[in-house]
Amino acid sequence: MADFFQSQKFRESMDIPPNISYSSGSLAEELQCSVCLDVFTDPVSTPCGHNFCKSCLNQCWEKSQQCRCPLCKETFSKRPDIKINTALREVAQLFQKKPSLSKSEVLCDVCDERKKKALKSCLLCQASYCETHLEFHHKIYLKKHKLMDPVENINDYICQKHERPLELFCRDDQTRVCVFCTDGDHKTHNTVPLEEECKVKKTQLMRTQKATQQNIQDRIEKIQGIKYFAKLRKKSTEREKAASVELFSDLIHSIERSQTELLEMMEEMQKAAEKQDEELIQELQQEITELKLRKTELDHLLHTENHLQLLQIDPSLCSPPHTRNRPEISMNTDVSVETLRRALTQLQETLDQKLSQTVLRKMQQYAVDVTLDPDTAHPKLILPNDGKQVRHGDIEHKLPDYPERFDKCASVLGKEGFLSGRFYFEVQVKGKNMWDLGVARESINRKGKIRVCPENGFWTVALRNGDEYWACTDSYVLLSLRVKPQKVGVFVDYEEGLVSFCDVESRSHIYSFTGQSFTNRLCSYFCPFPDDTGKDSAPMIISPFNYNG
């Protein structure tokens, strides 16, 4: 396997010049992520040409307000679309799988014919000895010479200048020295026995090992926490599914009852109409009979020559017959259609109410505790110590011009930021004529004039002139609301790219941003404008909320 890394195929795939020889050590450095200092896992490349583990690079960018290369610090205006370098990943996997080379066996320097395995190396003699020659060496020098575990390159342990063992460590120059070096170049330096420095290094390694073990334990606990909350979420989902089944069962029953009542009403109306038609027909037939008798009498009089009889006729016969006032005959469906429309409207309102109650109840399950961040507040904003409300004041206070503080737009952000999941909070806006409310990216621009829209990292709704409600989209949308919201609920589903606003008291939907792509931490956003007279002192109040199911 080790030969693969020296093969022509590998060198061509990695564009290695022919005159460069890659050892396993230098290759390990080339395949090492500069963030985690380990061999690449799912390597990706930045536009500047540097390679990192995919997870390492994502973590660096999620923790920073800017996307830049962790190595050369080049900043990218837009987060690059990184993809795994499959060729480099295969090389890294092959390198990790290659067998570790066993240490070469150190042989005795004294044996003449067949050399035996060395047991010790002598720094003074600068030679390695097998068991037989080590015993002879011991008899000659007793314990005066310093022995160590056998090493192949014993010259690495000998001072090349004084040919003495490197028994000391210079802390000033961080290098090994011999006793003669302390009388020369290292005379005034802080030198200690090599064993002492090794103990210090081992102590540091033990601390690092302990910290590493703690890090492992922390991550194990996080995994356990994720699994625990996953179980809770699964149970919660099951409860929601059961509640949804129950809700829609009730809705189906309501529809069936309304349908039955409506059909019965239409049947009764049909029977009443048929009865009215029968009575009208009977009256008309009676009138027809009477008119026929009148016509016969008139025909007789018209053909008589008896003047006396003509002069003595009833005057009513000379007048047109009396006609009763009756409504025009029609299909008579207007009443039933209007009744049907009213019934359907009432049913729709019932369904909307039940659905809105369920949706609001579901969103409220993700309620979070929001507190305003005074370091982001515009100097004219007034925040109490609890950070639960904000209003616009008349005086611009002298405050430190932090990078995160708004200097022109009278706004403030919540302290809490969210990188995943769902969250919900409620804000009272009663008594105000102007406000902006929603969420914003933590990396938004806080300086100068700001246009609040998704393109600039804001997802908000707004009130203007006391009765104009707007969705602050890239082109702004005027909203038509039935009632003026007194308390607004804000719900965010990070993974779904959803920001939704609702009127808490009327349980009605205000507006939703859908299909958004969130790649940065989101914070709650508040802008309590004064009205045109500058006297709109009513605050925006974050409502305390305890969800009990």
Nearest CA-CA partner of 542 in 359, 393, 325, 383? 383
Q: At what angle do helices 194-302 and 334-364 cross, to 10 degrees?
A: 170
How many whole angstroms separate alpha carbon 481 and alpha carbon 465? 15
Q: Is the dihedral of CA 37, 39, 45, 49 positive or negative?
A: positive
How would you write the pLDDT of the chain (549 residues) with one tens digit per residue? 444 444 554 455 444 444 434 444 556 677 888 888 788 989 999 988 889 999 989 888 888 888 888 888 888 888 888 888 888 888 888 877 764 434 458 889 888 878 888 888 888 788 889 988 888 888 777 677 878 888 878 778 888 888 788 889 999 988 989 888 988 888 889 999 988 888 888 888 888 888 888 888 888 888 888 888 888 878 877 877 777 677 667 666 766 777 787 778 778 888 888 888 888 888 888 888 888 887 887 777 777 766 666 666 666 666 666 666 665 555 544 445 566 566 656 655 555 555 567 778 888 889 999 999 999 999 999 999 999 999 998 888 889 889 999 998 999 999 999 999 999 999 999 989 899 999 999 999 999 999 999 999 999 999 998 889 999 998 899 998 888 999 999 999 999 899 999 999 888 889 999 989 998 999 999 999 876 555 567 899 999 876 544
Q: What is the pLDDT of residue 343?
A: 60
CATH topology of domain 43-96: Herpes Virus-1 (3.30.40)
Q: What is the pLDDT of residue 15?
A: 46
Dig out the tokens for 218 from the structure.
């922390």
Q: Which CATH class is domain 366-543?
A: mainly beta
**Which ranges of 303-453 does DSSP label H, i.e. alpha helix?**
307-311, 334-364
Element (H, E) at 261: helix 194-302
Whether the pTM exceeds 0.75: the reply is no
CA distances from 311 to 148, 306, 308, 317 (A): 162, 9, 5, 12
Nearest CA-CA partner of 40 in 79, 84, 104? 84
- Domain regions of the chain by residue span: 43-96, 197-312, 366-543
How many whole angstroms separate alpha carbon 171 and alpha carbon 192? 8
Q: What is the DSSP string of 15-51?
A: T--TT----HHHHHHHTB-TTT-SB-SSEEE-TTS-E
Q: What is the pLDDT of residue 493?
A: 92
Q: What is the pLDDT of residue 320?
A: 67
Strand bridging mode 191-193 / 168-170 = antiparallel
Dig out the tokens for 52 from the structure.
């990192």
How many whole angstroms separate alpha carbon 390 and alpha carbon 399? 16
- The CA-CA-CA angle for residues 402, 403, 406, to 5°, reads 85
**Which ranges of 303-333 does DSSP label H, i.e. alpha helix?**
307-311
Say if 43-96 and 366-543 have the same CATH topology. no
How many whole angstroms separate alpha carbon 488 and alpha carbon 438? 10
Q: Tokens 């007789």 sit at which residue?
A: 300
Question: Could you tell me if 406 and 371 are in contact, meaning their C-beta atoms sit under 8 angstroms apart?
Answer: no
Q: Is the dihedral of CA 143, 144, 145, 148 positive or negative?
A: positive
Residues with Cβ within 8 Å of 249's Cβ and at least 6 positions away in sequence, in order, are none
Task: Encode 186-228 in three state secondary structure.
Answer: CCCCCEEEHHHHHHHHHHHHHHHHHHHHHHHHHHHHHHHHHHH
How many whole angstroms separate alpha carbon 296 and alpha carbon 251? 67
Strand bridging mode 498-503 / 522-527 = unpaired
Q: What is the pLDDT of residue 323?
A: 62
Nearest CA-CA partner of 320 in 302, 303, 300, 295? 295
Q: What is the pLDDT of residue 492?
A: 94
